[in-house]
Structure 1
Amino acid sequence: MNQETHHDESHGTVKSYLIGFVLSVILTAIPFYMVMGGDFSKITTVWTIITLGIIQIWVHLKYFLHLNFITEDGRANTFSFLFSALVIIMVVGLSVWIIYESNAMMMHF
């Protein structure tokens, strides 16, 4: 089978990559406009940035990393990604906590 004609189903199409790209640009432009314009309150701007950031994470996971729950392979990949993210968050979070507590204990003596 010719390498050029073989298309692995786990990879996206040009259309899906373009959709992901356009959504990413829009989800980046909105908070940029809100911050640069300064027309919105600080709390509205912060919550909009957080919300659109979470949506952008989902867009990247769906359109660029192709994580899904539709196929068995997709479920396994998604759970592997989530487990890896949990381990990284725990390692970084606990390291920061240990460093902070060590610093706090040294300052009291």
Structure 2
Amino acid sequence: MSADASHANANAHGSRRSYLLGFLLSVVLTAVPFWLVMTGAIADAATTAALVVVLAIVQILVHTVFFLHVNPRAEGGWTLMAYAFTAVLVVICIGGSLWIMHHLNLNMMPITGTEMSNQP
């Protein structure tokens, strides 16, 4: 069995151009949020945080496509399906945790000065 035949079923790897494009996008998607936070270019902290999160999600997608080669063609689409399943689980875990913490915060009894004096 020759070396070429052993790789006949392997998925196509990226070209030098695609790796460089992925690298440049990664650098930009790292530098822009860093610049936003360090310079305070956007006065509203909530907007800055939301933009940083959006750019982080875009960077995850860039890494997935350009470096991990997850696409509908790879492994007959199973890698994309596994990736989507993992993303759904992460969203459920994070969303559920935030929902639970929000409702715990709403339903906790506030501690007043008289209740603290009864503490040992």
- Normalized against structure 1, the TM-score is what? 0.67
Larger radius of gyration: 2
Distance 1:96 1:39, change over 3 A: closer
Residue 57 of structure 1 is matched in structure 2 by 60
2:47 is equivalent to residue 41 of structure 1: no
Query: Aligned pairs, how many?
Result: 103
For 1:73, the aligned partner's letter is E
Deviation at 1:50, TM superposition (A): 1.4
For 1:47, the aligned partner's letter is A
Give the root-mean-square deviation of aligned CA atoms: 3.2
Deviation at 1:40, TM superposition (A): 1.1
Deviation at 1:51, TM superposition (A): 1.3
CA distance in 1, matches of 2:98, 2:47: 29
- The answer to whether the Cα contact below 8 Å between 2:11 and 2:75 also exists between their aligned partners in 1 is no
Residue 67 of structure 1 is matched in structure 2 by 70
- Normalized against structure 2, the TM-score is what? 0.61
Residue 76 of structure 1 is matched in structure 2 by 78
- The answer to whether the Cα contact below 8 Å between 1:24 and 1:56 also exists between their aligned partners in 2 is yes
- The answer to whether the Cα contact below 8 Å between 1:27 and 1:56 also exists between their aligned partners in 2 is yes
- Of 15, 20, 23 in structure 2, the residue corresponding to residue 21 of structure 1 is 23
- The answer to whether the Cα contact below 8 Å between 2:11 and 2:74 also exists between their aligned partners in 1 is no
Deviation at 1:39, TM superposition (A): 2.4
CA distance in 1, matches of 2:38, 2:99: 34
Deviation at 1:18, TM superposition (A): 1.1
Describe the SS at the equivalent of 2:64.
helix
Deviation at 1:93, TM superposition (A): 7.5
CA distance in 2, matches of 1:74, 1:37: 45
CA distance in 1, matches of 2:24, 2:42: 24
For 2:21, the aligned partner's letter is I
For 2:56, the aligned partner's letter is G
